[in-house]
Amino acid sequence: MPTVYLSKFSFSNPEPHLRAEHTQDTCRGLGFGLVQALAANPDNIIFAGARNPSSKELAAFAAAHPEQVIPIALDSADVPLNKAAAKLIEEKVGKLDVVIANAGMGKVSTMSDIEIPEFVETFKVNVLGPLVLFQNTQQLLRKASSTGKFVTISSVQGSVSNMIPGPSGAYGASKAAVNSVTIKIQEENPDLIVFPMCPGFVATEGASKFTKDQGAPREIMNSAAPISVAAANVLKHISEAVKVDQPKTLWTARGTSLGKEVPF
């Protein structure tokens, strides 16, 4: 029986004020790294959810793995599109073993000067996106071969007790909110394994620009993990994850290490 994954696919974007799902000709994001890593195991079937599933890079990779990688249209917080994606997965394989809510967006700004529409859009993508995805995939997760897993890709920027200084208020606030939403989902669905996690600082174009715009020291940017390493760390943690009734900490990678726990 194959293991079936749904990963919300992201492309890097040179404009940090745009949503991470917007596409460009070259994809370098963690979402694509996860799909690539999962496809290395012939027993996996991966539904790669993208705002533009016909993107050149995704289409080419899917063509090279026709029995494993299935691009599907999926946009954060778009309820009809999420419903349609779940229906398609139900018709094709009838279950999901793991769902990874990976899409996100962020902009360097302070609480004093951020435009309210930008704040709202950040919460729509980073908080409502994972919630809508869960609502529409939960029944497929209950048909998993073992215990279904729903994973939200979060950030240490969302740790209220361990907050990193810098002008990323809307992004950090949205990640704190999605951590809370994810833990509440776990509480309400004890038959599933649900948790947020942080991949650490990953060497993507978008993350590097975001961090640079915050004025982070060069040594921090140089410590970023390659996408392939970050993807391997994330998938290892997901594969080893067990049921926790009330998570108290956020698992996060540190560079190329397998990670540590950070208080919420």
| Positions marked catalytic | 154, 171, 175
CA angle 31, 37, 38 (to 5 degrees): 90
Q: What is the distance between the alpha carbons of residues 132 and 127, in angstroms, rounded to a whole number? A: 9
CA angle 20, 26, 29 (to 5 degrees): 45
Task: Please tell me whether residue 80 adopts helix, strand or coil conformation.
Answer: helix
Q: What is the distance between the alpha carbons of residues 72 and 229, in angstroms, rounded to a whole number? A: 25
Q: C-alpha 2: how far from its chain's center?
A: 22
What's the DSSP call for residue 126? I
Phi and psi for 72 in degrees, rounded to 5? -135, 150
Which are the contacts of 46, defined by CB distance < 8 A and separation ≥ 6?
4, 5, 6, 7, 35, 38, 39, 68, 69, 70
Distances (CA, A) of 155 to 10, 76, 96, 145, 216: 16, 18, 25, 29, 16
C-beta separation of 61 from 99 below 8 A: no
